[in-house]
Amino acid sequence: MMLRYLRKSIEVTQVHQSNWIRQKESRVKDFHATAVLLIGLTACGSPSGGTTPTQPVIPVPTSIAISPSSVTLTSPGVDAFLTATVRDQSGALMSNQTLTWTSSDEGVATVSGGDVTAVANGSATVTATSGSLSAQASVKVESSSPPPSTANVTVSDNAFNPSATRIALGGQVTWTWSGSRSHNVTFQSGASSATQASGTFSRTFNTPGSFSYQCTVHSGMQGSVSVN
């Protein structure tokens, strides 16, 4: 009787141990399957298994500004320098940008490379352009001295000197040829000179305002007379 009981007990114990081993093996297999799945999901993040590299940002001209935004010049011949700055989309300064400067009225003030020179009393707007961007600055010329009644302009090779002249109402401007080439002084209306290589030409201005002229022989050779 005792022997039968011991055999029964051993058989039960063996069954329990066999069940425990099978459960342990099943858990190990589940763990391995889960680990393989996680590794596979991580590797699918990118074709190379790593992170996608950040693309560099290309600077693009986005804004332009002129400093100072306004200037007042006290007499003809006085100048002031304006600075234009171009910045990209992040606000960073962009150097070596091509700038074009223009004046709305060269009879009041001229501009070259940001250098503004007063010609006669009045107001003008200076514009700096870079590509599709532009900015403006206001220029005021306030002179207490009256304009002269006479003025002289030298006609040299491909240039009028000075290019901007101030004259009193009823005053006279005389152009004198000094170069070796032939030029003319041509206004849009009123008296103009013939094309010549030497000599002089004079014109009296009895109407206030700004009068532009050019040499039709040489493109870009221009000047202006401000009468007030």
- CATH number, domain 61-141: 2.60.40.1080
Average pLDDT for 147-158: 92
Phi-psi region of 157 (alpha: psi -120 to 50; beta: other; left: phi over 0): beta
Q: What is the pTM of this model?
A: 0.50
Q: Do domains 61-141 and 150-227 have the same CATH topology?
A: yes
Q: Where are the domains of the chain?
A: 1-44, 61-141, 150-227
Strand duo 172-177 + 150-156: pairing: parallel
Q: For 43-91, what is each residue's pLDDT tens digit?
A: 444 455 567 778 888 999 999 999 999 999 988 788 899 999 999 999 9
Query: Minimal CA–CA distance to 210: which of 122, 144, 114, 80?
Result: 122
Strand duo 150-156 + 133-141: pairing: unpaired
Q: How far apart are CA 106 and CA 89, in angstroms?
A: 34
CATH architecture of 150-227: Sandwich (2.60)
Residue with the bigger pLDDT between 49 and 153: it is 153
Q: 182: pLDDT confidence band, cut at 50, 70 and 90?
A: very high
* pLDDT score of 5 more than 90: no
Q: For 193-211, what is each residue's pLDDT tens digit?
A: 999 999 999 999 999 888 8
Residue with the bigger pLDDT between 192 and 48: it is 192
